[in-house]
Amino acid sequence: MKKEIITLGHGSGAGLTRKLISEIFDKNFHLPTLDDGVQIENRTVVTTDAHVVQPIFFPGGDIGKLSITGTVNDVAMTGAIPKYILITYIIEEGFKIDDLRKITESVQKAAIDAGVKIIAGDTKVVEKGKADGIYITTTGIGFLPEKVELSSQKIEVGDKIIVNGNLGDHTVAIINARQNLELDPAPKSDCASLNHLVQFMLKNGDVHFLRDATRGGVATILNEVSDDTGFGIIIDEEALPISENVEAVCGLLGLDALYMANEGKLVSFISQKDENIIDKMKTHKSGKNSAIIGEVTNEFQGVYLRTSIGGLRPLLMLESDPLPRIC
């Protein structure tokens, strides 16, 4: 038997990541849930995240903003109101102080926008060559309002699946910045905190379950929900909100926006009696392009996509990072 080693695919958020969690972490930690945020005592929710991105500055954000919005969103998806953040910087020797200043100002601005406070932190500097510029880890703390309980177990047949806007923007912004694709106008990351939108949604409808569609994208979340609940999910390709920029890059590189990372998009499962919540979501600044993309069914298991020409195809969990094709 060959000795297995960690590859980049193990950090993809897809099948290989799940395998790592179930075979190694869960075996030791006996994690109560695979959700990003977890409720501890007195309706307190905590979450932790590590942020690694290249380039560090990209259209629509930077690693500082991302580290706050990502953590705020992980807390928010439980229905909790995020309040506090602890932050750790791991910095490579030789990193420019000016860039550190810019990143930190961006952290502070994102925290103010989301209504959270940075309450503690740590800094480590590692030797040149031992890190890729800068890594940031964050821990978020929030509080769950009375009567708010979101869980995949609340999902019912007939639930509408709603996303709050265009898919794939973050990945395409990063690919464009990293690979000098020179798209004009340069696509912007959707990097944003969603806690205000979540509270707005909770006030305006019967929300059963929420998840932010980061690594692995919408398709991974839908597969996780289907596995978890045993229900089937059907998605309507015509309804997917995808910008022309993203569609063009997907066509060019053989990528699929449903598997791309987003940094300001949530997937929500809403009771069918409250599907009109979408009209209200469209009035919120974080939900202008919201769309009902599908629904939950008990007629089959797994996740399927109805194509715009009437074909039906399975939407499977990817095993690893999607790779751009050669031609």
Partner 1 sequence: MLNNKKFRDPALIKKIVDDLNNWKKPIKIMEVCGSHTMAIGHWGIRKLLPPSIQLISGPGCPVCVTPSSLIDELIKLKGVTIATFGDLIRVPGKEETLEQARAKGLDIKLIYSPLEALKLAEKKQVVFVGIGFETTIPGIAQTIFLAAKQKQFNFSVFPAFKLVPPALDALLSTEDIELDGFLLPGHVSVIIGSESYDLLPEKFGIGGVVTGFEPLDILRAVKLLTNQISKDNPQIINEYNRVVDSSGNKIAKQIIEEILQVEDALWRGIGWIPDSGMGIKEKYAEFDAAKKYNITLKDEEGNTGCRCADVLKGKIIPPECPLFEKVCTPAHPIGPCMVSSEGSCAAYYKYER
Write out the residues near partner 1 by the rule CB under 8 A. 5-9, 15-16, 175, 179-181, 244, 247-248, 253-254, 307-314, 316, 318-320, 322-327
Token readout for 318 is: 């990817």
Q: Least distance in Å: CB of 16 to partner 1?
A: 7
* Nearer CB in complex with partner 1: 97/326: 326
Q: Is the dihedral of CA 63, 67, 68, 74 positive or negative?
A: positive
* Nearer CB in complex with partner 1: 94/145: 94
Exposure string of 15-36, with b = 16+ CB inside 10 Å and e = fewer, is bbbbeeeeeeeeeeeeeeeebb
Q: Least distance in Å: CB of 159 to partner 1?
A: 24
* Nearer CB in complex with partner 1: 1/326: 326
Whether the CB-CB separation of 191 and 170 falls below 8 Å is answered with yes
| SS3 call for 75 | helix
Q: Least distance in Å: CB of 2 to partner 1?
A: 8
Q: Least distance in Å: CB of 18 to partner 1?
A: 11
Q: Least distance in Å: CB of 323 to partner 1?
A: 4
* Nearer CB in complex with partner 1: 97/312: 312
Token readout for 287 is: 């939900």
Whether the CB-CB separation of 170 and 188 falls below 8 Å is answered with no
Region for 30 from its dihedrals, namely left if φ exceeds 0, alpha if ψ lies in -120 to 50, beta otherwise: left
* Nearer CB in complex with partner 1: 225/249: 249
* Nearer CB in complex with partner 1: 198/318: 318
Q: Long-range contacts for 319-326 (Cβ within 8 Å, ≥24 apart)?
A: 319/9, 319/14, 319/15, 319/16, 320/7, 320/9, 320/12, 320/14, 320/15, 320/16, 321/8, 321/9, 321/12, 321/14, 322/255, 322/256, 322/259, 322/260, 324/253, 324/254, 324/255, 325/253, 325/254
* Nearer CB in complex with partner 1: 157/316: 316
Whether the CB-CB separation of 293 and 269 falls below 8 Å is answered with no
Q: Least distance in Å: CB of 10 to partner 1?
A: 9
Q: Least distance in Å: CB of 271 to partner 1?
A: 30
Whether the CB-CB separation of 176 and 249 falls below 8 Å is answered with yes
